[in-house]
Structure 1
Amino acid sequence: MVLGATLCLNFTACDSSKQNPVKIAGSKAYEPIKVETPARPKGQTDVLNLQTAKIDTVRVGFIGLGMRGPSAVERFMHIPGAKVIALCDVEPDRVDKAQAIIEKAGKPLAAKYSGSQDAWKALCDRDDIDLVYIVSDWKNHVPMALYAMQKGKHVAIEVPAALTLDEIWSLIDMSEKTRLHCMMLENCVYDFFELTTLNMAQQGVFGEIVHAEGAYIHNLDEFWKEYWHNWRLDYNAKNRGDVYPTHGIGPVCQALNIHRGDKMNYLVSIDTKPFRGPEVWEKVTGKKATDFKNADHTTTLIRTEKGKTIEIQHDVLTPRPYSRMYQLTGTKGFANKYPVEGYLIESENAQSIGVPNHENLSAHSFVPEQVKQALMEKYKHRIHRELEEQAKKVGGHGGMDFVMDYRLIYCLRNGLPLDMDVYDMAEWCCIAPLSKISLENGSAPVEIPDFTRGAWNKTKKYEHAFAK
């Protein structure tokens, strides 16, 4: 529910950085639009750093075997301590193709479920499954996850895990109630450059991180027709806002320790008209678009409790090179992944952290390639060091999909907190509905709920857990 959505904007003159900014006559200051934060049900507590009983062999059931499901099944053939117990999809031939992957790997065949929209429930009802891995269309993510947790299963959900604030809160409450893991399958936090850069940020290489940027810029023209019953383009046609924010915002939230010492306070979104969307709709469906809602480009700005800022972009329609941006701006350095990977290190800081040839560094350009490579080797993340070779062999977006799945199983087997919790899911998914509210109210600021309900500062730093 949106609370207090009436808006008047407060304008200040150009010297607004002064202690007493000049106000334009007749303007009034208003708080950001607030959305409801439901009270935590009695008996529930937060699931920050949730640890559950160790599972020696994690028994997995897969729901959804269309675009991404089969590759996930393939990756699980290479993960120690994981066993695929059951496969489910509406289309029987998809289940058969996934079963063939298991058979080719010489593993025990899985039980098969298909033929109806509710076949997945029988999979969740089994008592020999520990983890339900959901790779269905977006609209079915939450019903499947809630049912699976009710049946005592941990859940891993493809991105975006939830589409509305009500759905987000339902997943949080179910995870807190059942004390079961609910993880969104955000693979981009395991990109090797992003892992290395996260480690550098945590080691102080860039000083205090003050601004971060992320994006999902990916022209989907060659993919639209691959989505079952055109569900993805249909969703874009009906919804305004950044509907796919998680790849861009996930890695930067980890670098900024969101709900681990800082929190996102409010956002503001702005978008273009849908110039190309109607054209794409007509080309894919053969029908004329009457009210295509999603913009060609959407930009969202976020401010945190500690005064940091984040910029997130979404563009799946225009002919641009793929980019997740991923930029970190610090008081002593800068990191950038797209369009060119690079680091800039302040010369005074460079000497203290052992950067080679630091005497020749410029404050206006990236460090030379050999210096960049030396930095990446020195600060290579532990996960990167342990899994790089195997990840590149198995594959999946350059290996990061394998690392994501491996870490999920590793943490469940060792009874460790997962790398991403239900609050990460909430914070990264909420950008979609909140950006829509902002856009529909003239790009008004909108408050971002504290999904931990008061526990955002309980943990002081984002960390990956490892078995001792």
Structure 2
Amino acid sequence: MTQLSGISRRLLLGGALASGALATGVGSARTAAALPAPGRRPGQKSMINVSFETYRTVRVGVIGLGNRGSGMTTGWSVVPGCTVTAVCDIRADRARRTADQLVAQGKPRPAEFGGTADSYEQLLRRDDIDLVYIATPWEFHHEQGKAALLAGKHVLVELPIATELHELWDLVDTSERTRRHLMLSENCSYGRNELAMLKMAHEGMFGDITNGHGGYLHDLRQLLFSDTYYTDAWRRRWHTRSTASFYPMHGLAPVAAAMDINRGDRMTTLRATATAPKGLADYRERFVPRSHPSWKETYINGDLVTCLIDTAKGRVIRAEHDVSSPRPYSRINSLAGSRGIFEDYAGTSSTGGRVYVEPDHSGHSWRDFDTFRKEFDHWLWKKIGDDAANNGGHGGMDYVLQWRTVQLMRAGLVPDIDVYDSAAWCSPIPLSVTSLAADGRPVDVPDFTRGAWVNLRLGLDSRVSEMPPVA
């Protein structure tokens, strides 16, 4: 395998390409058509390359203790230098049960809040919380994330950070005004294969990147109709409200990171297509009794919603969402360029990926990803991979996300994923609605960085750093 030693090909070539993007007119036609970014208020400044202040111990408050929130609470409690100081859920019994579980594991008992829709506001008034982690249903993310910023906390929000374009802008502006970071809790960006793919891309293994393909293809039909999994059927009900790509971020984010979106390139236009809404109604017809409340619902969201996204450098990203069809799970996770391609293809090898890169490969035959992943394994997985396997869900990437977030805060480093990445990766939700309402015509993707996307900078391709020792 051919690899440039020392400084990556991205840093050698990318800076010149990125800094010249506007001057040379790369993507100028598209960016000229983009909606103008709202102006900053007096005193409001960018959060790009703004470091965390240094924290001796990161104190976490958790809002939302359903399936995701309760599991991640345990994860926060085992990261070195991190403690859970408060937990909250509209159902007070969940807060009590989570606190009991932490105590049973030998952890300090967190303060408990719950019982009303605004109980989280009491949590935010505490002065022993540095980071608020939000894992409530999607419709509450914007309101709760903004409130946490205004309370002076850094915020990590489960997908998505918001579902409306004006809400995304509001979170960007609030982060800039409060000087607090808001980050998308995109665990798949820390997947082992995703990070290896990113490193291969930045070392030039695929040549000039031309396109990527990612998505969230997950048969959730049984869970969507469960009476206990999604409280009050909140996730199923989104399929009655709109035709949209609700949850493309797991596949989009790793591809965007490999393409340096907001870090030398940016998404410029999006056009969406949607299939007919057949899957949920068909499943209900076959498996759900007529007495079930879902029979009062009409499903309007397409089973497969596809977004084609153009970038300023002429690349194309295909992002898909489908939770209504019978199929094995996949995030697709594919990246291609002038010299090769990677696909995260389950079942081909122990690492679950396949690759074809010139000049090493020929004969039109896929090769296993094993050797490449060993060579391009990200330093985070080399350092804490064993701990991740023992402590984290989703193959360990939950723990890597949590460990890295705590490390960034304790060491006073710049976030890998900032508010601008978070807003851009979530923007296909409202943009897909607009495009589909216009018969799939392209719509402009806002530049949440307000022009700073042309500057190459580190993100998930971070340099090796240490977790400060726990006193």
Do Structure 1 and Structure 2 share a fold, with TM-score over 0.5?
yes
Contact 2:208-2:338 at 8 Å conserved across structures: yes
Contact 1:32-1:446 at 8 Å conserved across structures: no
Cα-to-partner distance string for 1:388-411 (whole Å, 9 max, x where unaligned) = 111001121010000001111100
How far off is 1:36 after superposition? 5.8
How far off is 1:77 after superposition? 2.3
Q: Give, as a single letter, the amino acid of the residue that structure 2 aligns with 1:325.
A: I
Aligned partner of 2:391 among 365, 388, 394: 394
Partner in structure 2 of residue 126 of structure 1: 126
Cα-to-partner distance string for 1:61-116 (whole Å, 9 max, x where unaligned) = 00000111111111122201101100101112211221122112211111110111
Distance 2:403 2:328 in 1: 29
Cα-to-partner distance string for 1:433-466 (whole Å, 9 max, x where unaligned) = 0011111101001110111011111234543255
Aligned partner of 2:322 among 315, 319, 329: 315
Q: Give, as a single letter, the amino acid of the residue that structure 2 aligns with 1:82.
A: C
Distance 2:47 2:85 in 1: 27
Q: How does 1:14-29 map to 2 (within 5 A)?
A: none
Contact 1:77-1:105 at 8 Å conserved across structures: no
Q: Give, as a single letter, the amino acid of the residue that structure 2 aligns with 1:278.
A: A
Q: Does 1:331 align with 2:328?
A: no
Partner in structure 2 of residue 403 of structure 1: 400
Contact 2:244-2:432 at 8 Å conserved across structures: yes
Cα-to-partner distance string for 1:1-27 (whole Å, 9 max, x where unaligned) = xxxxxxxxxxxxxxxxxxxxxxxxxxx
Distance 1:426 1:257 in 2: 15
Q: How does 1:121-270 map to 2 (within 5 A)?
A: 121-224=121-224, 225=226, 226-270=229-273
Distance of aligned partners of 1:460 and 1:114 in 2 relative to their CA distance in 1, 3 Å threshold: closer
Distance 1:140 1:293 in 2: 22
How far off is 1:222 after superposition? 2.5
How far off is 1:289 after superposition? 5.4
Distance 2:47 2:220 in 1: 36
Distance 1:91 1:437 in 2: 35
How far off is 1:32 after superposition? 10
Distance of aligned partners of 1:30 and 1:49 in 2 relative to their CA distance in 1, 3 Å threshold: closer
Q: Give, as a single letter, the amino acid of the residue that structure 1 aligns with 2:260.
A: N
How far off is 1:245 after superposition? 1.2
Partner in structure 2 of residue 91 of structure 1: 91
Contact 1:155-1:183 at 8 Å conserved across structures: yes
How far off is 1:275 after superposition? 1.6
How far off is 1:57 after superposition? 0.2
Identity of aligned residues (%): 38
Q: Give, as a single letter, the amino acid of the residue that structure 1 aligns with 2:157.
A: I
Q: Does 1:421 align with 2:428?
A: no
Cα-to-partner distance string for 1:231-280 (whole Å, 9 max, x where unaligned) = 11111211111011110101000000001000011011111111223345
Partner in structure 2 of residue 14 of structure 1: none
Number of aligned pairs?
425
Q: Give the alignment's TM-score, normalised by structure 2.
A: 0.86
Distance 1:76 1:122 in 2: 21
Distance of aligned partners of 1:293 and 1:37 in 2 relative to their CA distance in 1, 3 Å threshold: farther
Distance 1:286 1:363 in 2: 56
Distance 1:383 1:179 in 2: 27
How far off is 1:299 after superposition? 1.0
Give SS of 2:454's match. Answer: coil
Q: Give, as a single letter, the amino acid of the residue that structure 2 aligns with 1:421.
A: D
Partner in structure 2 of residue 11 of structure 1: none
Partner in structure 1 of residue 10 of structure 2: none
Q: Give, as a single letter, the amino acid of the residue that structure 2 aligns with 1:116.
A: T
Q: Does 1:464 align with 2:462?
A: yes
Cα-to-partner distance string for 1:38-78 (whole Å, 9 max, x where unaligned) = 22222212111221210010111000001111111111222
Taking only aligned residues, the RMSD between alpha carbons, in angstroms, comes to 2.0
Q: Give, as a single letter, the amino acid of the residue that structure 2 aligns with 1:230.
A: A
Q: Does 237-246 or 37-46 show the bigger shift?
A: 37-46
Q: Give, as a single letter, the amino acid of the residue that structure 2 aligns with 1:387.
A: I
Aligned partner of 2:309 among 302, 305, 320: 302
Give SS of 2:451's match. Answer: coil
Q: Does 1:362 align with 2:369?
A: no
Task: Determine which structure has more spread, i.e. the larger CA radius of gyration.
Answer: 1
Distance 1:102 1:456 in 2: 42
Distance of aligned partners of 1:219 and 1:129 in 2 relative to their CA distance in 1, 3 Å threshold: same
Distance of aligned partners of 1:205 and 1:31 in 2 relative to their CA distance in 1, 3 Å threshold: closer
Contact 1:345-1:363 at 8 Å conserved across structures: no
Q: Does 1:44 align with 2:44?
A: yes
Distance 1:384 1:233 in 2: 35
Q: Give, as a single letter, the amino acid of the residue that structure 1 aligns with 2:244.
A: G
Contact 2:221-2:280 at 8 Å conserved across structures: no
Give SS of 1:411's match. Answer: helix
Distance of aligned partners of 1:232 and 1:33 in 2 relative to their CA distance in 1, 3 Å threshold: farther
Distance 2:73 2:30 in 1: 51
